[in-house]
Structure 1
Amino acid sequence: MEEEEGAGIREKEAGLEIETRESARNRNARQSQEELFKIEQYAEMALHYARLDSMSSDMLFKKYDISAVIKRALKKYAVLFIGSGLSFSIEEFSCNAVTDEKWLGFVVEQILANALKYTNEGGIRIYGGDKNGQLCTGEVCYVVIADTGIGIRESDLPRIFERGFTGYNGRMEKKSTGIGLYLCRQIMDKLSHSIRVESAEGEGTKVVLGFEEKRALLW
């Protein structure tokens, strides 16, 4: 009887050891994927920065469902969202606009990257609406990407779209380039869209994207 019990214990220990090794391998594989994704992201940022001056010759304007554009951009971040342990939600909304999907997708990706980088707990939520909770004001349709991250210092807010500005959070992160939000503003201006940031230190950040519905109706 004792020998059977001892054998059972050894089998359980062996099973736990195998499970632990598999968990470690899965964790290492996920971390490798995340690091590779970040390298690709930096390369893509550099590429878009280099193309910024000639952006007008690389745009293809069409009428798009903005919700669908955002969802396609989100697919690239599936691995990072799973690994982060953060909650994520995107609410259904209707917003049509004339835009360039590739450049707008890049803007959405940069915003998501920042949200993931500076959010340690809670999550990220995407929904339609302005600061008053309205989806459209009659001519402009708004989409909000909100996180529950560390937020931005009030003194840094006026400069976050400046080229090379990293602010307090960027200095603490030590890997911030100060180029991401600069590119977002430049691209949104060239697409005739708007972007603004609402944030408070310790209270998260909201990035509000504005799209002219009136322009979409002309197409």
Structure 2
Amino acid sequence: MTFVLRYLQEHLKIFIMQLSFVCIFAGIFYLYHLPLTAVLYPAFVCFLLGCIFTGHSIYNAYKKHKRLMAMQSLSGAAIKDVFLKNANTLERDYQQIIRNLCEEKQSMEDRMMDSHKEMIDYFTVWVHQIKIPITSMQLHLKAEDSKLSRRLTSDLLHIGQYVEMVLTYLRLGADTTDYVFRTVHLDKILGENIRKLRGDFIMKKLDLVYVPSDETVVSDEKWLSFVIEQILSNALKYTNEGSVTISIEKPKTLCISDTGIGISPEDIPRIFEKGYTGGNGHESKQASGLGLYLCRQICNRLGHEISVISEVGRGTTMRIHMDQCQCIKF
């Protein structure tokens, strides 16, 4: 009913014009003292024919309306080849405009994809090139065991993490990423990251509580390792004394707890937002606002879920729930 009322409102001028013609003829017949039945009868016949024509027009317009509504769910690439049948001249003009816009949109998307791919390729090469001097410096520092060398080794590790974070951020923007799902041993990933960060544990004199569990999950080893490394790095960054505890909870949930400064309640809902550093980040000036954002994005694409529980002054617990069905979510 709403569509019919809108249609009649849009064509109101035509109905008024037709009524005006009848009134003009009736007025002329009246002025010349001619019988009004000579104009009223044809007017009545024309009115009936007009009602039939209007009903048919409303029916055709409604069919076009329904088809246009169905086309709203189509993508740009598909919609340019699906148009209304029996279109009039004006509608064909609009269809041609839509075709041109769809082709231009597709061309722009192709150029953006090529540009993004070139940027990722460039930064991939850049990351590998910058890792060479970082690795070289780390090897030189291993030959010297001193407080300064340990500090420099830790700083180099953080530089490497930030470099890898840049590449990860760019790769997440691509439509396709090199996900390889298979059975992964959590002990293997945890062991590699613990060894990588052992210098920070020693330098900050923090205890590590971890009992191997021989737990396996279906995931992508490289991307899951990045998430775990980020969480462990955050635990080390914001824990000045006490310990970091790694445990496996059922079902297939990795739990990383620390005794650090904690997260304020007002910051917890936003810590996974891009660029959000919260009160801790503002105070320490160490946060980039990307680490946990990337963790959430990667977990979403791996079909995992990441959650946090924290209390100011008592510490933070991060959990990665990996018992869900694995699927890539873009």
Structure with the larger strand share = 1
Match of 1:165 in 2: 276
> Greater relative contact order: 1 or 2 (C-alpha under 8 angstroms, separation 6 or more)?
1
1:95 aligns with 2:199: no
State the one-letter code of the partner of 1:30.
R
State the one-letter code of the partner of 1:209.
I
The answer for unaligned runs of 5 or more in structure 2 is 1-144
Q: 1 CA distance for matches of 2:156 and 2:319? A: 29
Q: 1 CA distance for matches of 2:316 and 2:264? A: 11
Say whether the 8 Å CA contact 1:115–1:149 is kept in structure 2. yes
The answer for unaligned runs of 5 or more in structure 1 is 1-24, 130-134
Q: SS of the counterpart of 2:146?
A: helix
Per-residue CA distance 1:15-74 (angstroms, 9 max, x = gap): xxxxxxxxxx71111111111111111111111111112374311111112232222222
State the one-letter code of the partner of 1:211.
M
Q: 2 CA distance for matches of 1:150 and 1:83? A: 18
Q: SS of the counterpart of 1:205?
A: strand
Say whether the 8 Å CA contact 1:145–1:206 is kept in structure 2. yes
Match of 1:26 in 2: 146
1:36 aligns with 2:147: no
- What TM-score do you get using the length of structure 1 for normalisation? 0.79
1:178 aligns with 2:298: no
Q: SS of the counterpart of 1:202?
A: coil
Q: 2 CA distance for matches of 1:114 and 1:55? A: 28
Match of 1:58 in 2: 178
Q: 2 CA distance for matches of 1:111 and 1:207? A: 7
Say whether the 8 Å CA contact 2:180–2:220 is kept in structure 1. yes
Alignment of 1:122-137 (within 5 A): 122-129=242-249, 135-136=250-251
Say whether the 8 Å CA contact 2:303–2:324 is kept in structure 1. no
Per-residue CA distance 1:89-114 (angstroms, 9 max, x = gap): 21232432111111000000000110
1:111 aligns with 2:222: no
Q: SS of the counterpart of 1:102?
A: helix
Match of 1:195 in 2: 306
State the one-letter code of the partner of 1:210.
H
- What TM-score do you get using the length of structure 2 for normalisation? 0.53
Q: Offset of 1:214 from its aligned partner? A: 6.8
Q: Which moved more, 1:165-174 or 1:81-90?
A: 81-90
Structure with the larger helix share = 2
Q: 1 CA distance for matches of 2:185 and 2:324? A: 11
* Count of matched residue positions in the alignment of Structure 1 and Structure 2: 183
Match of 2:206 in 1: 86
Say whether the 8 Å CA contact 1:161–1:182 is kept in structure 2. yes
Q: Offset of 1:213 from its aligned partner? A: 6.8
Match of 2:316 in 1: 205
Say whether the 8 Å CA contact 1:147–1:206 is kept in structure 2. yes
State the one-letter code of the partner of 2:277.
T
Q: SS of the counterpart of 1:212?
A: coil
